[in-house]
Amino acid sequence: MNCLGHCHPTPVRALQEQSEKIWHLSNVMTNEPALRLAKKLVDSTFAEKVYFANSGAESNEAALKLARRQALEVHGSDKTQIIAFNQGFHGRTFFTVTVGGQAAYSDGFGPKPGDIVHAEYNNLDSVKALISDKTCAIMIEPLQGEGGIVSPTDEFIKGVRELCNQHNALLIFDEVQTGLGRLGSLYAYMDLGVTPDILTSAKGLGGGFPIGAMLTTTDIAKHLKVGTHGSTYGGNPLACAVSEAVIDVVNTPEVLDGVKAKSVLFVDGLQAINTKYNVFKEIRGKGLLIGAVLNDAYQGKAKDFLVAAMSEGVMTLVAGASIVRFAPSLIIPDEDIKEGLARFEKAIAKITS
């Protein structure tokens, strides 16, 4: 979220300047920050069209509705199946929790949106077993975040693209967590050799300010005509001005190469801690989205590590019950990584003593 930390001067200035121009417009009009941001996203990705929303869930909701509408208009009413993945996370609207792979989030609200099935991440055969010409889209995170910091294998992610091509299904990448430089490239797809048909972005896109976006091609976008879908605040000039400034800072070799270098420092530091305390069975992830998987003696205890770290002044996250997740600012100074790890080590010393 806070991909540039707190109060980075570039987005702060953009917000201040925009706040004295215009805050909001009727959505029969557009505004300059929205047009500039859309152009920036189009110029730096595969996309030709952008739809703005206010969050990750809303961006995914738009992507799923677009995929269903596109399939209906191009292929007819039978093509409605959506394939997603166990442990996937796509937001908290009813459509997106149902597509997400944790029943605990979608149960208990009555009848769910239909024709949504789940395969196993990194298991191409499980996708093959479900896909058919009735599949309208596959929605996937190009690295499962909430689900446990799981990277896709090369064979799997390329295989998923290939299966979509064979069955005329759209490939939707949910890059809400992986986008905006988090993994060391502007978007994760750029490093995978796989281009999606639709991509969603949020979290880092606003650097802590609420905004979301759905990116796609002109050919697909034409199925979401004006009036078919919309949002009052999507494309809000304040949010778009901030986001434009965030992209200007993040989408530079300096910051993106920095993510890769800081990742090495971070992972090496965690390995060194583990050599002393033997608490992790694996350190995984990519760029500055890192998961430390607790070994069997600490199963289900990730929350305890989070709480202990917090009392040493270090903010961590969890990804499931047994993984401690780190997602620091992309421009965190190396000294802060070292200081943070030293404090994290103190927390671990307390837990293990």
Ligand X SMILES: *Cc1c(COP(=O)(O)O)cnc(C)c1O
Q: Which residues are marked as active site?
A: 89, 174, 203
Main-chain phi, psi angles of 206, to 5 degrees: -105, 0
Using Cβ positions, the residue closest to ligand X within the complex turns out to be 56
214 binds ligand X (CB under 6 A): no
- Minimum distance of ligand X from residue 186's CB (angstroms): 16
Pairing of strands 170-174, 198-201: parallel
Structure tokens given for 74: 């191009």
Q: Name the amino acid, one letter, at 61.
A: E
State yes or no: residue 331 binds ligand X (CB under 6 A). Answer: no
Sheet hosting strand 198-201, strand order edge to edge:
49-53, 212-216, 198-201, 170-174, 135-140, 81-85, 116-119
Pairing of strands 116-119, 289-294: unpaired
Distance (Å, rounded) from C-alpha 81 to C-alpha 265?
43
Q: At its nearest, how many Å lie between ligand X and the CB of residue 316?
A: 16
Does 244 help bind ligand X (rule: CB under 6 A)?
A: no
Q: Is 188 in the site for ligand X (CB under 6 A)?
A: no
Give the x/- contact pattern for ligand X in 33-72, rule: CB under 6 A.
----------------------xxx--x------------
Site string for ligand X, 154-183 (x = CB under 6 A): --------------------x-xx------
Which part of the chain contacts ligand X (CB under 6 A), choosing from 26-34, 127-135, 139-147, 249-257?
A: 139-147
Report residue 306 as tokens.
């989070």
Does position 91 bind ligand X by CB under 6 A? yes
Of all residues in the chain, what percent are helix, strand and coil, respectively (each to 5)? 45, 15, 40
Q: Binding to ligand X by residue 286, rule CB under 6 A?
A: no
Can you give the binding site for ligand X, defined by CB under 6 A? 55-57, 60, 89-91, 141, 145-146, 174, 176-177, 202-203
